[in-house]
């Protein structure tokens, strides 16, 4: 092709057709420019496809993380709701003159005495931010909602850290010091395989009465009841934030899935 254009130029020059040569030269330049523009456009299109593939990969992973967190917030809401119910049951018991009613509140005990740490899946989001790839997200609404969700997470994590240190860890320490759970083994059928001795009904009733005495002492402890009061005070806000996080996550999942569908 290059030789073809060269022969045309040489022929026009030898025939002294300078005006035609000039027009031809301009035309050739235009063709070269058009070729360059087409090449640039193709290259840009290729780069855009590569960028979109990378963005899509992140979006798919974000959905997976968000789906996991959606389940987390639903679970945490239920846990905190049960903790609040337990605290309220203990507060009501403390004002009850019939102390034998303790049998009615013991089933709530697990809800305040056990807790798991809070682990939010932010692997993909943090990877995008740390690698400088957050701007790969082309949908501004998705970026904005991801940033808002991060703020919600930080608020929840800060509150959880305070609750864990000032309430739950203190509560665990009080319970360990006040209640001898070894007494529960003879009266709990699930522990039968651990014990070599078969306890009589009278012995089971004795251990049951002993552990009930310890629970009564526990519920008379001002620090224990202060923690129940604080749980009662703090839980509504925790529940509100967990529900807010779940709603934000659900909205983000739907938004990202809609964005991914535009590729189909």
In whole angstroms, give the CA distance from residue 116 to residue 80. 11
In whole angstroms, give the CA distance from residue 34 to residue 42. 12
Residues 6+ apart with CB under 8 A from 123: 61, 65
Nearest to 91 by CA among 235, 228, 214: 228
pLDDT at 32: 65
Please, are residues 108 and 83 in contact by the beta-carbon 8 Å criterion? no
In whole angstroms, give the CA distance from residue 228 to residue 179. 17
pLDDT at 21: 47
Please, are residues 128 and 134 in contact by the beta-carbon 8 Å criterion? yes
pLDDT lower than 70: segments of the chain: 1-33, 35, 37, 39-40, 42-49, 264
Nearest to 163 by CA among 62, 54, 80: 80
Biggest CA pair distance of the chain? 127
**121: helix, coil or strand?**
coil
Compute the 3-state secondary structure of the chain and give helix, strand, coil in percent, each to the nearest 5.
85, 0, 15
115 DSSP assignment: -
In whole angstroms, give the CA distance from residue 203 to residue 180. 16
Please list, residue by residue across 133-170, b when 16 or more beta carbons sit within 10 angstroms of its beta carbon and e when fewer do.
eeebbebeebeebbeebeebbeebeeebeebeeebbeb
In whole angstroms, give the CA distance from residue 64 to residue 170. 36
Please, are residues 80 and 231 in contact by the beta-carbon 8 Å criterion? no
**Half-sphere exposure of residue 154, counting CA atoms within 13 Å on the CB side?**
7
Reported as a single tens digit per residue, the pLDDT across 99-117 is 778 888 988 998 998 888 9
Tokens of 96: 């009850």
Please list, residue by residue across 7-26, b when 16 or more beta carbons sit within 10 angstroms of its beta carbon and e when fewer do.
eeeeebeeeeeeeebeeeee
Tokens of 47: 């780069």
Element (H, E) at 86: helix 18-94
Angle at 78 between CA 74 and CA 79, to 5 degrees: 115
In whole angstroms, give the CA distance from residue 132 to residue 58. 13
- Please give the model's pTM, rounded to 2 decimal places: 0.78
């Amino acid at each position: 092709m290059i030789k073809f254009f060269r022969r045309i130029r040489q022929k026009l020059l030898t025939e002294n057709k300078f005006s035609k040569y000039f027009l031809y030269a301009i035309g050739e330049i235009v063709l070269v420019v058009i070729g360059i523009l087409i090449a640039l456009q193709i290259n840009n299109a290729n780069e855009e496809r590569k960028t979109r593939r990378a963005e899509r990969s992140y979006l798919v992973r974000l959905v997976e993380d968000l789906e996991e967190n959606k389940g987390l917030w639903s679970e945490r809401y239920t846990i905190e709701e049960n903790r609040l119910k337990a605290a309220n049951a203990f507060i009501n018991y403390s004002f009850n003159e019939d102390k034998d009613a303790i049998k009615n509140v013991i089933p709530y005990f697990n809800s305040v005495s056990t807790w798991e740490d809070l682990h939010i899946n932010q692997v993909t989001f943090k990877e995008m931010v740390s690698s400088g790839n957050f701007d790969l997200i082309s949908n501004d609404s998705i970026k904005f909602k991801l940033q808002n969700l991060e703020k919600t997470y930080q608020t929840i994590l800060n509150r959880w850290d305070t609750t864990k240190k000032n309430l739950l860890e203190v509560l665990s320490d009080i319970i360990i010091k006040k209640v001898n759970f070894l007494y529960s083994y003879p009266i709990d059928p699930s522990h039968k395989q651990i014990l070599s001795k078969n306890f009589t009904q009278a012995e089971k009733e004795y251990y049951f009465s002993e552990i009930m005495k310890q629970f009564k002492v526990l519920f008379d402890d001002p620090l224990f009841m202060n923690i129940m009061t604080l749980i009662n005070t703090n839980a509504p806000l925790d529940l509100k934030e967990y529900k807010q996080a779940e709603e934000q996550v659900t909205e983000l999942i739907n938004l990202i899935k809609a964005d991914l569908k535009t590729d189909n």
